[in-house]
Amino acid sequence: MESSRKKTMSLSLWIAAAMVAGILAGIAMWGSMGAKAAAAFTTAWLKPFGTIFINLLKFVVVPMVLLSIIDGVVQLGDVKKVGTIGIRTLIYFLVTTAIACVIGLALGTAFESQFPVLSMAQNQAFKAKAAPTVMQTIVNIFPDNMWKSFTSASMLQVIFIAIIFGGGILLAGEKGKPTAVLVRSMEEVMMKVMMMIINVSPVGVFCLMAWVVASQGPSIVTSLALVIGVAYIGYIIHAFVVYSLSAKIFADMHPADFFRGIMPAFLFAFTSTSSLATLPISMECADKLGVKREVSSFVLPLGATVNMDGTAIYQCVATVFLARCMGMHLTGTQLVTVVLTATLASIGTAGTSGAGTIMLAMVLEAVGIDPIYIGIIFGADRIFDMGRTSLNVIGDISCSVCVNKWYNAGTVGINERSDG
């Protein structure tokens, strides 16, 4: 684990260095060549390499979401066996993730006027299509052709297909186990493919940042700092309002005791940017908060897979920011689509460093935003990721505390049981 963390940190430094180098190169070209010449040069020679990188991100989205969600459903095991714990855990995660999306969209919308409209977006002459009704959006979730859903990257349909297949594997019982093993194996392969793509991200970041800065001028850098601040405001609000209130209301735990108990996991998540890597420490924190091992051993691994509230806030804020960059104002229906897609996408996000950015491409495509603009914020992804992973881990432990309280209330003699 230690060597993997060092590699991740090394990659993070390379990405940060690439972002800084791209910004400096863009400023240098913008100042020495002039705005028009710099824009023409970077568009012709640097943007294509950034486009290749974004295409690779888009390439891995569909299989990654499909396999991750199928595996997440399978990990629930026998629904009858997990019973109330499984149902309440999933409801808690879905509700808090939906709240996170609303917080992210509210903050993004509140600061929307402060975000820039890029001239390159105006040159694209974006024309908004007629927005579908809410009922049309719901109908479009259910596919009539599975392969068409994959090839067109209709992500809500892909997510629905994944849930259906995961449920089918569980219902098949013993006969479904080989398929479950195959899905887990394929997911591991796709994780390696994803990391191969992430490993070349410094090149894509440099090219895209140099192109954006050379085309837009140095003012775009200030906007990047602003969107990071907006995301962190969302993280803080969600942690101190949603999670601490949940612990207080549902588990009768004082917020100070809760945050004191989760501090080791918070600090490790902030530095490792991996929910899965933080899992052993999360288990220890849950134990110290009085969570029974039979509860934490189910809730926390599931949470590391499906609970991504920080990712949801990031995706919503980034979507509003990037929409503004391309001169696009999201309609009410599109905002609903963002909430639905970001909620489900966060469930499909792998609990590893940097995976949230790949899922962002899915959310952007759901509302018609070109994922090429991810390059504007990808260089700062490590900064986003530190906060969103920490929030995800806090949410996992908060859920375990609440579910443990419900479990104790509904189980006879639970206090006399051994923690195992």
Alpha-helical regions (H) of 132-254: 134-139, 146-151, 155-171, 177-199, 201-216, 219-237, 244-251
Model pTM? 0.68
Q: What is the pLDDT of residue 347?
A: 57
Q: What is the pLDDT of residue 275?
A: 76
Q: In whole angstroms, how far apart are CA 42 and each of 18, 216, 219, 275, 346?
A: 16, 11, 17, 37, 34
What CA–CA distance (Å, rounded) separates 239 from 234? 9
Looking at the chain, the whole-number percentage of residues with pLDDT higher than 90 is 17
Range of weakest confidence among 133-137, 249-253, 379-383: 133-137
Q: Are 228 and 88 in contact (CB under 8 A)?
A: no
Whether 300 shows a pLDDT value over 70: the answer reads yes
* pLDDT band, residue 278 (cuts 50/70/90): confident
Higher pLDDT, 201 or 255: 255
- What are the boundaries of each domain within the chain? 2-63+81-131+204-408
Please state, as a whole number, how many other Cβ atoms lie within 10 Å of the Cβ of residue 125.
7
Mean pLDDT of the region 54-64: 78
**To 10 degrees, the CA torsion angle through 1, 63, 371, 34?**
60
State which fold the 2-63+81-131+204-408 domain adopts.
Proton glutamate symport protein (1.10.3860)
pLDDT tens-digit series, residues 173-214: 889 999 999 998 998 898 788 778 878 878 888 888 788 788
DSSP for 66-127 reads HHHHHHHHHTT--HHHHHHHHHHHHHHHHHHHHHHHHHHHHHHHHTGGGS---HHHHHTT--
Q: What is the pLDDT of residue 272?
A: 61
* Paired tokens of 184: 């887990």
Whether 229 shows a pLDDT value over 70: the answer reads yes
Q: What is the pLDDT of residue 1?
A: 42
Q: What is the pLDDT of residue 239?
A: 94
